[in-house]
Amino acid sequence: MIPNIINALLGVWLTYAGVFLVNRNGGIDLPLLVAGAVIVVLSLWARRTDVLRWVAPIDIVLGLLLIVFAGLHMADYITQLEMFWGVFWVGIVVGVLALWAALYRPRGLTGATAPSRTE
């Protein structure tokens, strides 16, 4: 649950960075590389305890995609607009999926029992 919450907060920051920081000149590629690596590591950690087994692999792929985007941007292979959309969508999807994985607990796993029918 903790790695998913951190990933959700990181997704919010990535969305912010995509909108406000990518279009500035320089200085954002290295933090995006680090953010992609942190997403991958936290998703590997969260994969062991997640109820939804499909969320962590998607977050891992998105973290790797963010690393690729930052590397291509550092080498001037992609434009600011492509970088904006890449960081923006990675941030949104990682944030939503990680928050969903952190909050989703089926009824049987929360410790609460279903009400008994005595009719």
The model's pLDDT over 4-60, given as tens digits with 9 standing for 90+, comes to 999 999 999 999 988 888 766 667 888 899 999 999 999 999 888 888 889 899 999
Asked if residue 118 belongs to a domain, the reply is: no
Over pLDDT 70: what percentage of the chain? 86
Give me the pLDDT at residue 29, please: 83
Give me the pLDDT at residue 117, please: 52
Give me the pLDDT at residue 25, please: 62
Asked if residue 114 belongs to a domain, the reply is: no
Give pTM, 2 decimals. 0.82
Which residue type, as a one-letter code, is found at position 110? T
Asked if residue 15 belongs to a domain, the reply is: yes
Q: Are 101 and 46 in contact (CB under 8 A)?
A: yes
Q: Residue 84: give the domain boundaries.
A: 2-104
Asked if residue 42 belongs to a domain, the reply is: yes
Q: How many domains does the chain have?
A: 1
Asked if residue 10 belongs to a domain, the reply is: yes
Q: Are 44 and 63 in contact (CB under 8 A)?
A: no
Q: Residue 32: CB partners within 8 Å, gap ≥ 6?
A: 14, 17, 66, 67, 69, 70, 73, 87
Asked if residue 113 belongs to a domain, the reply is: no
